Structure 1
Amino acid sequence: MVNNYSCQDFLSVARRITYDATIPELLEEAIRNHEGRLSNNGALCVTTGKHTGRSPKDRFIVDTPDVHDIVHWSNTNQPCSENTFNRLYDKMKEYAKDHQLFVTDALVGADPDYRLQVKCINEYAWHHLFLKQLFIRPEKKLTTPAGFTLICMPSVKANPIEDGTHSETFIIVNFSKRMVLIGGGAYAGEMKKSIFSVMNFILPQKNIFSMHCSANVGKDGKTALFFGLSGTGKTTLSADPNRKLIGDDEHGWSENGIFNLEGGCYAKTINITPETEPQIYNAIQYGTILENVYINPYTREPDFFDARFTQNTRTAYPVENIPDALVPSIGGHPNAIIFLTADAFGVLPPISKLSKEQAMYHFLSGYTSKVAGTERGITEPQATFSIGFGEPFFPLSPLKYAHLLGEKINQYNTSVYLVNTGWTGGPYGVGSRMKLKYTRAMITAALDGKLDDVEWKDYGYFQLCIPDSCPGVPTEVLNPENTWADKKAYHTQAAKLVRKFAENVQRFKGEIPDEILNAGPRLEE
């Protein structure tokens, strides 16, 4: 394979290689190299410089003849030439001649039938520790060739003029050479999401639905999936003490059931406390990563309320750090799918049931909203749409993933619900955020079958069905219009959001059947 030859060729020139370092060894190396500091409970605290989040404008896929007609080229799937890849590969190889590298083989995919072996090559010890926590650790030394190689060297920077990149930062996936190159930035999430993108390329071509979602399983053995963009509550709502966590972010759905792609979790830590996020808070233990979290220089206690580096503070830990997590991270076919949205317009119902066509529509829409004050220039709620609730990570046509969703819903008779964790009684600034206890009560009722026998009725503009009652939730909360004092303002906001949906879905016109295109929100005649 070209990949193996390239990997061995690369490693053959390295000044020094540390193979399969243990977690204590990586911690010692990171401290010795001044890459981070230990917190009071043994977590490694690191900062990532100017990149404290992903850099989508610097992400590329190498445009080769064998993938040219398969990849869905777009603003999130930008093409680059083989020459660009080769130049940056050579720069990394030259850098390796004078530096130490950390090398190990990791696994991605809890289901052995659909597992990818990844050779991880890192410049930083803490990056290697991150991958040890996020990917699946082999139980014994692997002797088979890796299916993909990940090389991450933040010190190697691109020259945009010479190398054909947009900046000194680059994240390049080469499906032909089965390799990922990352340079010019230290944000660890780029490694995680690059391999997720690789799985989103490989699995659907095997008729396996790859998903940006969390998953858990109840005491009754019933599995649930939670889709949602940042800020919708995906991690919080899936980390349920009454259910076993399968995984918090990336999964595949095969004929065998659900399987986690990772062996760990990469959770946000901003403002967490033992009371609000007990599972995440307590998972931060010896050997875990705290990324861009400020720690007191004297006590070494993390300050999760300090956002001096970024709001996007993170921790990386193995799934075993979550009490009663399911290991291996495999579950049955899901009985329920929850689409989470944080509607700042305040007009989507807190829970509604979707038909297969509506599920495909809302999957392709991937709606949530940004609120005033979160970014410069935003003075009122803004609709945000991201295909599959994770558009930047899907290299194939969006329709491929949507069709797989529809097929799975049909095959396994899975119920799908749209849950609004956003505003009620008015838009952001007027109404209030939906109470978490109500959202938990609605999701619990849906998963436990307590909504199966209630009456469902049509809900106006959005062509949705809402329940007339739900245990633990006041009846008036279930219909958003009833919570608004100003009914005229409600209708104005609802119409505004409907138009946003209609504008967004136009990009699929002519590509998806009318029954899906017409399954979304529409203005009343």
Structure 2
Amino acid sequence: MRMDLKYLNITGYKNLYNNLTESELIEFAIKNGEGKLANNGALVLNTGKYTGRSPKDRFIVKQKSVANDINWGDVNLPISEEIFDDLYKRVTQYLNDKDLFVFNGHVGAIREYSLPIKVVCEYASQALFSNNLFRKSSDTDMDCSENEFNIISAPGFKANGKDDGINSEAFVIINFDKRIILIGGTSYSGEIKKSVFSVMNFLLPKKHVMPMHCSANVDQSQNTTIFFGLSGTGKTTLSTDSTKKLIGDDEHGWSDKGVFNFEGGCYAKTIRLDKNKEKEIYNAIKFGTVLENVVLNSNREPDYNDSRYTENTRAAYPLEYIENLKENGVGNNPKTIIFLTADAFGVIPPISRLTKEAAMYHFMSGYTSKVAGTERGIKEPKATFSSCFGEPFMILNPYIYAKLLGENIDKYKTRVYLINTGWLYGGFKNGNRINLKYTRAMVNCAISGEIEKYKFVEHPIFKVMIPEKCPGVPSDILDPINTWDDKEKYMDKARVLANKFEENFKKFKGVPNSIAKAGPSIESLQYEEAMNF
């Protein structure tokens, strides 16, 4: 393992601290004014201007080796080698005479598919974040320096935006040839985590491994379940279950050897965290945990309801802080996959089964709703589509990932369900969000296979299969039209959402017709038929 940074042309630093303990890193962070301790022992940071990812500031160096593989566009922005080289030189000069903190580890619980990484940080708190989120390696465990990806984070270095060939003072640049991720201008640690995830999403399909933005757990019978879902759909809450062991919270691979966690920690949202409903997450916030942009009251007690800095408050803690943990980070090939959506329109069924083709369609669509209060300017529910439930991190064509999903569904006879954790009874403005107790019952019924005992009926617009019964859930809510007083308004809203699905899917080229036709459609729907389905 290389302990100095000469190979990165970083030589003028003041002191180099390799793989410090959490206590040492916390001491440095407090001494340097990076944060302060909450009364529960967590290190609390304020990330300033950047309280979340900055998608328009992430670039990939356009090189011959990757140019034909990457799905270039609004998400994957190209940048020249010359611009990268100039910024890299200036960042390394900026780091002169500074203390640097290094984390050495790897990503991926199955060694055959793991990636060795080195994270070089200007801030001790970001080294602690990396120590919590990635998997630790001994000196002999991962002696793979030539395959190592290097992440260099210099939040204090501010670029000059357009004058430097980029968009702002902040930047996240991935260079595959040099195996370097260069981060500057932002203190938001999620950029470290997600840029590494993006690299894995590029590398693993070449090994016929499906990378996934999902959580995963196992039940007492060692049945693995995968949970896909965008922010706010309940992915972390539903996978962190006291009756099941957590494989991982956010990023996984699916190989012929099973499902394996990329990470060694969790990066959970904490806004409005409820210690009774989400006790596993609440109890994991203690000494060693990093809290980002959480407000402390006068007694240094975290106020998880206060969103004055951002709705995107976060806790980064190691997996061992979770009581029910699958310690090796590996599970069997999944028996069940659950897609989560928080539908604010109130028209998606609470639970439905998907065919393989429909699963591929909904995977490529990645639908949920943004609602009023979560983003400036949103007054009505807004349909949001994020390919593969993680579009900002999926570097290849979405169909490549969907094809891997379909192949695995066939190979392992995996059942796929779509679960709506959003609203019924008229939608966001008029109705109520589905009770978490009912959602947990649906998840458990799907995992156990008990739901397959009952008859399923196809929804005439969304084409998903709705069960006539699900134990623990009122039968009258399973068909969402039953929760609306005005059935015609339900159909109007369902048609609006179906149109949004169809418009979004038009951006995918070269997708087999069997998949394109498996999603929502109103082409042949007769209004009278729909009213009586």
* TMscore range, shorter length: over 0.9
Aligned residue for 1:417, secondary structure, equals: strand
- Tell me, yes or no, if structure 1 residue 210 matches structure 2 residue 205: no
Letter aligned with residue 180 of structure 1: I
- CA spacing shift, 1:379–1:307, aligned 2, 3 Å: closer
> Residues of 2 paired with 1:335 and 1:143: CA distance?
35
Aligned equivalent of 2:360: 360
2:167 — aligned with what? Answer: 166
Contact 1:108/1:115 (8 A) holds in 2: yes
- Cα distance in 1 for partners of 2:380, 2:117 equals 44
Give unmatched runs, 5+ long, in structure 2. Answer: 527-533
Instruction: Please report how far the alpha carbon of residue 236 of structure 1 lies from its aligned counterpart in structure 2 after TM superposition.
Output: 0.6
Deviations 1:116-138 (A, max 9, x none): 10011000000000000000111
- 1:513 matched to 2:521? The reply is no
Cα 1:7/1:250, change in 2 over 3 Å: farther
Q: Does 1:125 align with 2:124?
A: yes
Contact persistence 1:204–1:210 (CA under 8 A): yes
8 Å Cα contact 2:5-2:11 kept in structure 1: no
**2:315 counterpart residue number:** 315
Instruction: For residue 139 of structure 1, report the CA deviation from its aligned partner.
Output: 4.0
- Deviation, 1:376, is 3.0
Aligned residue type for 1:353: R
Residue in 2 aligned with 1:46?
45
Provide the residue aligned with 1:224 in structure 2.
225
Residue 462 (structure 1) aligned with residue 457 (structure 2): no
Say whether 1:185 aligns with 2:171. no
CA distance change for structure 1 residues 115 and 444 in 2, over 3 Å: closer, same or farther?
A: same
Give the aligned CA root-mean-square deviation in angstroms. Answer: 1.5
Contact 2:18-2:101 within 8 A present in 1 as well: yes
Task: Answer whether contact 2:11 2:96 (CA < 8 A) is retained.
Answer: no
Residues 6-21 of structure 1 aligned to structure 2 (within 5 Å): 8-21=7-20
Q: Determine the C-alpha separation between the residues in 1 that align with 2:482 and 2:460.
A: 13
Distance 1:125 1:176 in 2: 28
SS for the counterpart of 1:21 is: coil
Percent identity between the two aligned chains:
52
> Which aligned runs of 4 or more in structure 1 are off by greater than 6 angstroms?
3-6
In structure 1, the partner of 2:111 is 112
Q: Give runs of aligned pairs for residues 457-496 of structure 1, distance below 5 A.
A: 457-496=457-496
Secondary structure of 1:352's counterpart equals: strand
Change (3 A) 1:149 1:7: farther
> What's the TM-score, normalizing by structure 1?
0.97
Q: Describe the SS at the equivalent of 2:266.
A: strand
Aligned mates of 2:414, 2:8 — CA distance in 1: 48
Normalised to the residue count of structure 2, the TM-score between the two structures is 0.96
Distance 1:520 1:240, change over 3 A: same
Change (3 A) 1:430 1:508: same
Moved more, 74-83 or 422-431: 422-431
Residue type of the alignment partner of 1:328: N
User: Could you say which residue in structure 2 is the equivalent of 1:272?
Assistant: 273
- Partner of 2:173, secondary structure, is strand
Q: Is structure 2 residue 299 aligned with structure 1 residue 295?
A: no
Using a 3 Å threshold, how does the CA distance of structure 1 residues 498 and 176 change in structure 2: closer, same or farther?
Answer: same
Query: Aligned equivalents of 1:392 and 1:106: distance in 2?
Result: 24
Cα separation, 2, equivalents of 1:9 and 1:353 = 50
For residues 312-461 of structure 1, the aligned pairs below 5 Å read 312-461=312-461
The Cα shift of 1:6 comes to: 8.1
Tell me which moved more, 368-377 or 159-168.
368-377
Code of the residue aligned with 1:343 in structure 2: it is D
Count, aligned residues: 521
Q: Is the 8 Å Cα contact of residues 7 and 149 (structure 1) preserved in structure 2? A: no
Q: Give secondary structure in 2 for the equivalent of 1:516.
A: helix
> What residue identity is the alignment partner of 2:388?
G
Preserved contact between residue 423 and residue 432 of structure 2 (Cα < 8 Å)? yes
* 2-structure distance, mates of 1:28, 1:495: 57
Other structure's SS at 2:514 match: helix
1:101 alignment partner in structure 2: 100
Q: Which residue does 2:202 correspond to in 1?
A: 201
Whole-Å Cα distance in 1 between the matches of residues 116 and 230 of structure 2? 28
